Amino acid sequence: MMRVGLLFLAMIMAPLALADELRGTGDLGIIIERASGSIQIIETSGNSSLGRIEGLGDLSHASAVFSRDERYAFIFGRDGGLSKVDLLTRRLVKRIIQGGNSIGGAISDDGRLIAVSNYKPGGVKIFRSDTLELVADIPAIFTQEIGKGATSKTVSGRSKTVGLVDAPGSRFVFSLYEGGEIWIADCSKCLAGVKPQITRFKNIGKLPYDGLITADGRTYIAGLFGEDGMVRLDLWQDKPRATRILDGYGRGSKKLPVYKMPHLEGWALAGNRFFLPAVGHHQLLVMNAENFRQTGVFPVYGQPIFAMARPDGRQIWVNFAHPRNDTVQVIDTHSMKLVKELKPGKAVLHMEFTPRGERVWISVRDADRIDIYDTRTLRRVKSLPARKPSGIFFAARAHRTGL
């Protein structure tokens, strides 16, 4: 009788113990600790850190994407490292050095391919997400005419690639910094051994420095560092063409020193308006999302780096380049007014909203701290220690195009 009772108790307790061990991935994320080559794995339900993984190399400009089941993070290091991390077991699954100087990456819509953008050697490499095996190498080789008439000359070379994003149909879109081009790489047959099909758009403008793609996968926008303007590509067209938008947005005003490039990955869409950081100006550009025409500017505290919309679009949170990088401004998109100016501390580098936007996590590098704010009250609710934190990335990004 006692044995039966013990067996019954074991049958009850075993599932309970298993339930304590199991957890979902929807509230997990990572914090990049750039100085120590490490990451923290965090969860947003309790606003806590679950552990740390070391040995990830140079993370000075690191970013991450997530597998579609949200279990794995793929981290792109500045030293060309590509690392696959298991968020549940909190371990490094695999790390490879795929280039000399990497500047971000993307994951295909089906989750099977990882693309990495490289400064050195210039180009994009495509890997299997399960094994990190190389399946395609796309060197960014360009040729362009400089000048006109008798003084013109032909220049060719290998360009840095920037603004790499995923697009529907296992495609990747990126820009060539020196080449002044946008490329679409169709990788839908790469796993079958077929080379990517490349579509090139030449002479788009001088020095495209970053890019974004809208959540519906339709519109790719590249910013231009060499001139005031941006370029739009409509991927829904049978034969897309590059179109200039926001041309000459800084006309009539003096351009200020640029200490850090704005990040278009932090673009904001609120209702039917884009809010985009202006290079060399203390402003956000306001653009109609239907006709892509500028409707105004919003003056801000400094040169904006990220202008990020709360998921419902009601607020825009903006951080700034050195020397004004101790500040975050919050804009109400309904009233179009500045509603709060926060001073978290020196070197605010990144912000990340929880999936429904009730909290925002902010990295304060020089204070070795992550601050968590309530986006309704605009008050800090918690801080976590971190080693020189920079990027913050939540696993919910797995289900959003372009993140």
- Asked if residues 168 and 217 have their Cβ atoms less than 8 Å apart, the reply is yes
3-state secondary structure of 9: helix
CA atoms within 13 A on the CB side of 139: 7
Query: Within the chain, which residues score under 70 in pLDDT?
Result: 1-20, 147, 149-150, 250-261, 266
Cα separation, 83 vs 72, whole angstroms: 10
Ranges of beta strands (E only) in 300-368 are 304-309, 315-320, 328-332, 337-342, 348-353, 359-364
Q: What is the pLDDT of residue 150?
A: 67
Q: Which residues pair with 134 in a beta bridge?
A: 127
Question: What tokens appear for 125 in the block?
Answer: 């490499």
Question: What tokens appear for 46 in the block?
Answer: 């309790």
Q: What is the pLDDT of residue 258?
A: 66
Q: Which residues contact 116 (CB under 8 A, 6 or more apart)?
A: 76, 82, 98, 99, 102, 104, 105, 124, 125, 126, 127, 164
- Asked if residues 116 and 108 have their Cβ atoms less than 8 Å apart, the reply is no
> What's the chain's average pLDDT?
91
User: How many helices (H) and strands (E) would you count in the chain?
Assistant: 1, 34
Residue type, 180: G
Q: Which residues contact 162 (CB under 8 A, 6 or more apart)?
A: 103, 117, 174, 175, 176, 177, 208, 209, 210, 211
Residue type, 153: K
Looking at the domain 99-260, which fold is it? Methylamine Dehydrogenase; Chain H (2.130.10)
pTM for this model (two decimals): 0.91
- Asked if residues 360 and 375 have their Cβ atoms less than 8 Å apart, the reply is yes
Radius of gyration of the chain (CA): 22
Q: What is the pLDDT of residue 353?
A: 97
Q: What is the pLDDT of residue 259?
A: 58
Cα separation, 265 vs 65, whole angstroms: 13
- Domain extents for the chain? 25-81+350-403, 99-260, 266-343
Ranges of beta strands (E only) in 168-303 are 171-176, 181-186, 197-201, 208-213, 219-224, 230-234, 242-245, 268-270, 273-277, 283-288, 294-299
Looking at the domain 266-343, which fold is it? Thrombin, subunit H (2.40.10)
Ramachandran angles phi, psi of 46, nearest 5°:
-110, 5
3-state secondary structure of 148: coil
Q: Which residues contact 379 (CB under 8 A, 6 or more apart)?
A: 373
Residue 355 has a CB neighbour count (10 Å cut-off) of 16
Any idea how long the chain is?
A: 403
